[in-house]
Amino acid sequence: MNAAVIVFPGSNCDRDAVCALRDHTAKSVHRVWHRDTYLPKVDLVLLPGGFSYGDYLRSGAIAARSPIMAAVQAHAKRGGLVVGICNGFQILTETHLLPGALMRNAGLKFLCKSTPLRIENADTPFTRAYDDHGETAIPIAHHDGNYFADEDTLDRLEGQGQIVFRYVNNPNGSSRDIAGITNKAGNVLGMMPHPERAVDPLTGETGGLAFFKSLAGAMA
């Protein structure tokens, strides 16, 4: 399978994402600049973490209107897999590929630490290699990770199995402890924790390995 990682001005997790995808998921991984208007032929598009456009206006707001995003939207509409990690999740809500919004952390602090997560739905292309309702730990690193949506939307997310990851100890005030969700069709995922930072024992933990292995399985 082939993957593309979109690079925005201010992205800073794109190289880690490329390494994780190359080592565990994809045959070839392209890096695509945000000003491009076409995607190479890929099965998966990953929007990486970072501070696109310096978080100006709102986190992810300006990146969501950059030229490549029309191609990402078309890829998602065709059923192609899309992953947004951290700033990528913020960009996906700003493009309305995912519902809700990510607000300032309830405690106002930037949080950077390993975070226990519960796998709420292991029947997705992103989580099949995890145990259903098992736990893992993946680091978070964000200032705006407080997931908000109105009650109807939250009920719908719950009812349709769209809540994929939940915090075991909610660090940021997210509604219903949400750490990651999919769209209704199940091909677009956004999550605040950084699985690409947890694939090698060298960097401390490997809770994200199953994420990239799941994607490899989904594309096999």
Partner 1 sequence: MKAIVHIRPRSGVLDPQGQAVAGALKHMGFDEVLSARQGKIIELELGDDDEQAVRQRVQKMCEHLLANTVIEDFSISIEP
Q: In 25-173, where does DSSP find H-type helix?
A: 68-77, 87-94, 151-159
Is 94 a catalytic site residue? no
Is 120 a catalytic site residue? no
Distances (CA, A) of 102 to 36, 62, 130: 26, 14, 25
How far apart, in Å, do the first and last CA atoms of the chain sit? 7
**Do 188 and 137 touch, CB atoms closer than 8 A?**
no
Does position 149 interact with partner 1 (CB under 8 A)? The reply is yes
Q: Which stretch binds partner 1 (CB under 8 A): 24-32, 56-64, 122-130, 205-213?
A: 56-64
Q: Which stretch binds partner 1 (CB under 8 A): 76-84, 111-119, 141-149, 182-190?
A: 141-149
Q: Say which residue the tokens 């997790």 belong to.
A: 13
Does position 190 interact with partner 1 (CB under 8 A)? The reply is no
- How many whole angstroms separate alpha carbon 158 and alpha carbon 156? 5
Does position 108 interact with partner 1 (CB under 8 A)? The reply is yes
Of 34, 86, 94, 120, which is the active-site residue?
Answer: 86
Is 196 a catalytic site residue? yes
Q: Which is nearer to partner 1, 43 or 177 (CB)?
A: 177
Q: Say which residue the tokens 């192609």 belong to.
A: 80
Residue 74, SS3? Answer: helix
Q: Which of 14, 43, 94, 120 binds partner 1 (CB under 8 A)?
A: 94
Does position 57 interact with partner 1 (CB under 8 A)? The reply is yes
Does position 52 interact with partner 1 (CB under 8 A)? The reply is no
- R_g over Cα of the chain: 15
Distances (CA, A) of 71 to 44, 74, 93, 117, 220: 12, 5, 16, 32, 23
Q: Which stretch binds partner 1 (CB under 8 A): 1-9, 19-27, 96-104, 162-170?
A: 96-104
Does position 71 interact with partner 1 (CB under 8 A)? The reply is no
Q: Which stretch binds partner 1 (CB under 8 A): 30-38, 124-132, 144-152, 203-211?
A: 144-152
Interface residues with partner 1 (CB under 8 A) are: 57-58, 61-62, 65, 93-94, 99-101, 103-108, 146, 148-150, 173
Catalytic machinery residues: 86, 194, 196
